[in-house]
Each structure stands twice: as C-alpha cells, then as structure tokens.
Structure 1
Amino acid sequence: MRLVVAALLMMGLVGCTTPGDLLKGEPTISKQSNKDPKTVALCIYPDWQEYQSTATLSETLDGYRLVSGSELNGQTNDVLDIKRSATGSAVNLFQRMAWQQVGRSKITESINRCL
C-alpha cells in the first residue's frame, strides 16, 4: 500500500512546473520598450488577472515579474520577466506549452499594447 501511495505522489510531482523552470528555457516572446519596467508591468497586469485570477505581480531586483498558473496542479503556465535595460525595459515571455495559445491571446495583445 505504501508503495502505491509513494508512486502516486511521485507522479503528481513530476508534472509540476515552477517559474524557475520556465525561465531556464528560451522566451516565446522577446521585446524591448522605451518605458520603465514598472509602467509596463502595471499596464499588462490587469489583463493577466483577467486571463487568470490567480496571476501575481512581484518586484525583482532589476524589474518586475508576472506569473500565472494553476493552483490545482502546481503548474506555472506563463512568466513575464520585465527587466530594466539601458533604453527602458527588456520584456521576455516564457510559456509552458507555448504551442498551445488557445485563450492566451489577451496576454500577447496586452504585451504589444503596453510596450
């Protein structure tokens, strides 16, 4: 019985994706803006909340990070990293299953609109 429970727990953990996991990969979108990171983040964040009510916005050492995912299965689906650059902001979107864009169009639209 213990073996079955341990196997089920391991299967559940294998599927988890953290923001750090996504940041290790290549960005789906990489853009520059002449606006400062805070302005870009505050413009985009309301659309992320509409896309996923559990989306979070946090300040980093060199900018801001928006994260959306599912609390039910521990998956991080999208991370938007907005860093200060010499000319304003470097904006990079990292996505789990980037090929699957159904329902995600508002995210990319808000990035383009807010830059």
Structure 2
Amino acid sequence: MRILIGAVAVALLTGCTTPGDLIKSSPTIVAKTTKAPKAYALCVLPGWQEHQAGATMNETLTGYRLISSAESIGQTNELLEIKQAPEGSEVRLYQRMPSISLGRSKITSSVNNCL
C-alpha cells in the first residue's frame, strides 16, 4: 500500500508545469495589437475566467501576465504575456497542450477576439 501511495505522489509531482516551464517552449500564438497592455488584458480575462475560474492577471514590469492553472495539482495550463510595444502591445500565448484539447478553445478564442 505504501508503495502505491508513493508511486501516485511521484506521478502527480512529475505532471507539474510552472509558468517558467511554459516560457521555455514555443508560444502557440504571437501577435500584436494596438491596445494598451492593460486594456488588452482586461478584454481577455473574462473569457479565461469562464473557462477556468481561478485565472489570474498580474502586472509585470513590461505589461501584464494572465495565468490559467489547475491549482489542485499545481499545473499551469496557459500563460499569456502582454508586453508594451511602440504602438500597442505584443502578445504571446504559451500552452501546456494544444488549445483544442479538453475543450480549451475558449482560451485561444479570447486571445484572438481581443486583438
């Protein structure tokens, strides 16, 4: 029984994905918008919260960051970085899995619809 519990714990820990892990991969979407970073983030956030109630928005030194995660297992599913650009914002979406998986197309729709 102890071996089974230990194996499950190890399996759960190996599935953890942090925002830093996602940034190491290639972005799913790279785009530019004429909207200011805060305006763009506030446009995207409600759609993300419909999909994942715990989606968060944080201000960074260069703009904003939205994170959608499965907190119960410590896994970040999506990360949207919005950085100030000369004429608006640069947007980069990083995803743990393709957006069509598990009905997560709402995430990419929100990103694209707000551009």
Contact 2:23–2:94 (CA under 8 A) maintained in structure 1: yes
Structure 1 runs of 4+ off > 4 angstroms? 1-8
Report the counterpart of residue 33 of structure 1 in structure 2: 33
Report the counterpart of residue 13 of structure 2 in structure 1: 13
Q: Where does structure 1 lack aligned partners over 5 or more consecutive residues?
A: none
Q: What do you get for the CA RMSD once the two structures are aligned?
A: 1.9
**1:42-88 residue CA offsets vs partner (Å, 9 max, x unmatched):** 00001100010011110011000110111121111000110111121
Of Structure 1 and Structure 2, the greater helix share is in 2
Q: Where does structure 2 lack aligned partners over 5 or more consecutive residues?
A: none
Q: Give the share of equivalent positions with the same residue, in percent.
A: 54
Report the counterpart of residue 43 of structure 2 in structure 1: 43
1:90 is the counterpart of 2:98: no
Q: What is the number of residues matched between the two proteins?
A: 115
Report the counterpart of residue 70 of structure 1 in structure 2: 70
TM-score by length of structure 1 reads: 0.88
**1:23-48 residue CA offsets vs partner (Å, 9 max, x unmatched):** 11110011000111000000000110
Report the counterpart of residue 57 of structure 2 in structure 1: 57
- Distance in 1, Cα, partners of 2:4 & 2:106: 42
Shift of 1:10: 3.0
TM-score by length of structure 2 reads: 0.88
Letter of the structure 2 residue corresponding to residue 21 of structure 1: D
Contact 2:44–2:111 (CA under 8 A) maintained in structure 1: yes
